Chain A
Amino acid sequence: MNGGHDLGGMHGFGPVDIERDEPVFHHEWERRAFAITLAAGFLGKWNIDQSRFAREQMPPAEYLATTYYEHWLFGLEKLLHDQDLVSRDEVAARLLGRVGAARPVADARKLKVEDVEPALRRSRASKADEDVAPRYRVGDRVLTRNIHPLGHTRLPRYARGKRGVVAIDHGVWVFPDTAGNGLGRKPQHCYSVRFEARELWGDAATSRDAIYIDLWDDHLEPA
């Protein structure tokens, strides 16, 4: 979707401000938002692409006015509601101080403390084992599709309808543009595609520079 998250090439946000000796978290609520999001992900009720798509559906004006962990919180609330695990009404009731009995969830695959380390080590979200033939080889010229889907896509707006060259074949991966929309894994090759800066940004860009974007077979056509 052409949401507030798709920032590549936008102007007006000002300088990049690097904080010296930055802490990992700036507030206690960020720690909690981080941890409940990760832990809830291990319930197995949604995939990483669906979690990204949930955050992307934050209204653009709100997305741009809030911080990273607020995006996470928005996405988590949406996923929990959509999966019928925690309804918006239940959250609203707790916010009003009504600590009623929580509607239990049967057969939840809860992440246990002893499983945290092994779960993080073996975490494998998207690499696919299927043997799928690549449509392109390194060095092939490709043209990205000019698509504007309402659903999730990993083809950024700034790189649609652009010509590039396949630089690396990363092997077979789950396709986020279907998996993120609940439409299946559709495993296929993912490539790092090289775009000359001038192809993306016009003649004012430096002729020597290039942008590499990871794209899947279904994003590409021969050029």
Chain B
Amino acid sequence: MSHDHEHGHHHHHHDDDDDVQEHRKHGAPLSEVELRVRALESLLVDKGLVEPAALDALIDTYETKVGPRNGARIVARAWVDEAFRARLLEDGTSAVAEHGFVGRQSEKLVVVENTPSVHNMVVCTLCSCYPWAVLGLPPVWYKSAPYRSRAVIDPRGVLSELGVNVPTDTEVRVWDSTAEIRYMVLPERPAGTERLSEDQLADLVTRDAMIGVARVAPSGGR
């Protein structure tokens, strides 16, 4: 379905939503999927199976509180604190819990380290498992058929298209998250960042670098 034909206004709390604005402008009917979601939500509320305020809290949590900045703080700490880095690679779950990052879709976290000799990248070929507690909800490309199909059979091709050229003598390791264990990549610290503070380092770390499909640039950027 095209974006042009989606116009949602299921919920009065989100009146400023772009879709609603668009809907008002064009007065077009709701799409089939919008109608289905609205019908289901209203039934669940009427039956006492979901609480509207809880729905808003769930959305707010993953839209504004939990996201890749969590993971970036972990990476920056690991770069400046050798003991933390060792704990993180030994037991990722406990090390990120020190920062309060625990919970859903992160029952066990394994952190894998990129080095000059090993490049790690993470995929979930069967669904879209992703370490929510440290990276938030997954981006569309991670959930898409191109990435899920190609990451395991042609990782170097995918990386090359995304601008990451891995030398032939570097081993590529692809982690297919088929269980409840979640994987996060500890990217290489870029050269020339020796004088940066931990916060400045965290600002350089991108979501894609922690999935393993980008390198961290010394001047940041996505």
Contacts and interface: CB of A to CB of B under 8 A. Distances in A.
B17 A123 contact: no
Contact of A16 (B3, B37, B147, B171): B147
Contact of B149 (A11, A33, A48): A11
Contact of B169 (A13, A156, A208, A211): A208
B80 interface: no
B10 interface: yes
A73 B7 CA distance: 17
A206 B172 contact: yes
A123 B104 contact: yes
A34 B105 CA distance: 14
A190 B180 CA distance: 10
Contacts of B41: 32, 36
B125 A156 contact: yes
Interface stretch (B42-50, B70-78, B186-194, B195-203): B42-50
B83 interface: no
B181 A34 contact: no
B20 interface: yes
Nearest to A168: B110
A148 interface: no
Contacts of B50: 35-36, 39-40, 110-111
Contact of B178 (A48, A101, A215): A215
Nearest to A87: B43
A35 B153 contact: no
A27 B96 CA distance: 31
A7 interface: yes
A173 B49 contact: no
A19 interface: yes
Contacts of A135: none
A64 B37 contact: no
Interface string B153-177: 1011010011000001111111111
Contact of B153 (A21, A111, A170, A201): A201
Contact of A91 (B43, B49, B141): B43
B169 A8 contact: no
A125 B6 contact: no
Contacts of A210: 171-174
Given A127-B180, A154-B178, A29 B10 contact: yes
Contact of B49 (A52, A110, A176): A110
A52 B34 CA distance: 22
A137 interface: no
A15 B161 CA distance: 8
Contacts of B19: 27-29
Interface of B: 3, 6, 8-11, 14, 17, 19-20, 31, 33-44, 46-51, 53-59, 61-63, 67, 102-105, 107-108, 110, 125-128, 136-137, 139-141, 143-153, 155-156, 158, 161-162, 168-181, 208, 213, 222
Given A13-B149, A31-B63, A156-B178, 15 more contacts: A8-B126, A8-B176, A13-B150, A19-B140, A22-B140, A28-B17, A29-B8, A36-B37, A111-B50, A123-B105, A127-B108, A127-B180, A173-B179, A211-B152, A213-B176
- The 4 A-B residue pairs whose C-beta atoms are closest, nearest first, are A28-B8, A8-B125, A214-B179, A102-B46
